[in-house]
Amino acid sequence: MLPARTRVLATLLDNGADFIALDEAAAAAGVVHVPLPLFFTPQQRLHALQAAGADTLVTPQGVERLPFATVALPPGTAKITFTSGTTGTPKGVCLSQAALQAVADGLRTAIAPLDVQRHLNVLPFAVLLENIAGLLAPRREGVAVITPPLAEVGLEGSSRFDPARLDAAVRRHEAHSLILLPQMLRAWVGHLAATGQRAPAALRLVAVGGAAVGAPLVQAARALGLPVAEGYGLSEGGSVQTLNLPGQGTPGSVGRALPHARLRVDADGGIAVAGSLMLGYLGDPSPVPDWWPTGDLGRLDADGQLWIDGRRRHVLITAYGRNVSPEWVETGLRGHPDVLQAVVFGDGQPALSAVLWPTRPGADLQAAVDAANAHLPDYARIGRWTPARAAFDAASGLATANGRPQRAAIAALHAEDLRIEA
């Protein structure tokens, strides 16, 4: 099925049998596969194709030979996944087949007691999390994967999402498992609550990753019968590193290390991982260290559970010299049913400020702020807030494909409202 003389294959495809066939054919033939997200802009696609030296592109319209120069790749590169990049320029992460299989096998071991037999693919295959946990792992286990077009499960672009369509698809296919981003889970929980429904009876696992989830959302989902498992991972580590399955850990933690992963938390709270690391970044000859510094802050408890406290580079220092992780405050804000998305600012300012996107028209955002502030120390309370001018998604440019907020863009758009410097 692979076009002749292909060395680096790029695909720009919706979820479906064509992607699976090409992905597996590339792995079998030793061809490097570069799955491109459909939501990348034309400029991002061009950058990714050139950076990887792709010679063949497969789209729904057919096969195209590309004129780009061959580039040197780390030996053993099997797949290149592109992060969205905080500046909008995608960053290529080179992964070996051994690392991909190690992550898949670690997930298979962890999930085996659930006896999952039908996995519904909801995230794009170009997203590494779904590519490994929703495709490679189940197919190595002999699990059936159900791969409808993304629109059928309610996802359009990177973040336009219809929870009613997802709910209908899960029930129709009697799915045992699926993977969601936190905002998708939050919308689904809201849909179930608003319609008076409980989770589909066949579900055994709803894995959630890509961004912070928080104990309130996990508890609300489980109260409706959704068997939510929060995980933690990163592209540089080959995706999933930990998983907190229902009944095995404390809600709010991201669980214990999977069999393929090793974790450590340094004296300053920095999380480092080892065990299934990338081979390197495209265009960067720097050697990959034995332990990869994730840039996240956290802690390991006595039971080996990992707790995420935020991103090292996001830590705010207020005008009064207090260090605050914005993710901590944001999780509290999102714990209110009226808040879908929240981003907190306050570096060098006397008080913190927030940009909020509601779950519904007419939401009482002030009540949400008051509720969050009631559980925060004075230095971490929100002093000023504004409703967001647009949803935080890739279409608006206010979030990455994985749902992580683009803080600089959000600050620039709302600087006048919050009276902050973008």
From 96, 120, 155, give the residue that closes a domain: 96
Does residue 284 form part of some domain? no
Same domain, 221 and 133: yes
Residues of the chain with pLDDT under 70: 84-88, 157-159, 319-321, 420-422
Q: What is the CATH number of the domain that holds 15?
A: 3.40.50.980
Total count of domains within the chain: 3
Same domain, 54 and 150: no
Does residue 381 form part of some domain? yes
Q: What is the CATH number of the domain that holds 387?
A: 3.30.300.30
Same domain, 83 and 121: no
Q: Give the per-residue pLDDT at 88.
A: 53
Q: Give the per-residue pLDDT at 213.
A: 81
From 77, 96, 115, give the residue that closes a domain: 96
The domain of 299 spans 99-273+289-310
- Token code pair at residue 325: 């992780």
Q: Give the per-residue pLDDT at 422.
A: 43
Q: Give the per-residue pLDDT at 354.
A: 98
Does residue 128 form part of some domain? yes
Does residue 166 form part of some domain? yes
Q: How far apart are CA 294 and CA 291, in angstroms?
A: 9
Same domain, 260 and 164: yes
Same domain, 301 and 342: no
Does residue 67 form part of some domain? yes
Helices 326-334, 215-223: crossing angle, 10 deg rounding: 30
Same domain, 33 and 122: no
Q: Give the per-residue pLDDT at 183.
A: 79
Q: Give the per-residue pLDDT at 307.
A: 94
Does residue 370 form part of some domain? yes
Does residue 228 form part of some domain? yes
Contacts of 23 (CB under 8 A, 6+ apart): 11, 33, 35, 125, 131, 135
Q: What is the pTM of this model?
A: 0.81
Same domain, 149 and 228: yes
Same domain, 327 and 411: yes
Report the Cα–Cα distance between both ends of the chain, in Å, rounded: 50
Q: Give the per-residue pLDDT at 165.
A: 98
Q: Give the per-residue pLDDT at 39.
A: 78
